[in-house]
């Protein structure tokens, strides 16, 4: 089963990521620093949905997701 949704909690230095599979079950949780998150995001398969809360940095990360072929979703707080 492949990961189809990534839920991301954006913060100043460390981001929390939750990977969910097609059945809606949590596959794993990660805490990544900003640089490590950018590298990890680039390795995700194209078409993966990346959901994040609307905040000051969400649009920057949404643009990065588009560059990597991911589908960003910015959700109101």
- Strands (E) across the chain are located at 3-9, 14-21, 26-33, 49-53, 71-75
Residue ranges of domains in the chain: 5-75
Residue 74: closest CA among 61, 19, 64: 61
Task: Report the percent of the chain where pLDDT is more than 90.
Answer: 82
Chain mean pLDDT for the chain: 92
Residue 1 scores a pLDDT above 60? no
Token pair for residue 12?
Answer: 């100043």
pLDDT tier at 74, thresholds 50, 70, 90 = very high
Q: What is the CATH number of domain 5-75?
A: 3.30.420.40
DSSP 8-class letter at 71: E
pTM: 0.89
User: What's the average model confidence in pLDDT over 35-64?
Assistant: 94
């Amino acid at each position: 089963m492949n990961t189809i949704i990534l839920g991301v909690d954006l913060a100043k230095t460390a981001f929390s990521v939750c990977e969910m599979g097609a059945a809606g079950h949590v596959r794993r949780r990660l805490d990544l620093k900003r640089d490590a998150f950018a590298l990890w995001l680039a390795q995700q398969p194209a078409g993966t949905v990346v959901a994040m809360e609307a905040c000051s940095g969400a649009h920057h990360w949404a643009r990065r997701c588009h560059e990597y072929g991911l589908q960003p979703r910015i959700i109101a707080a």
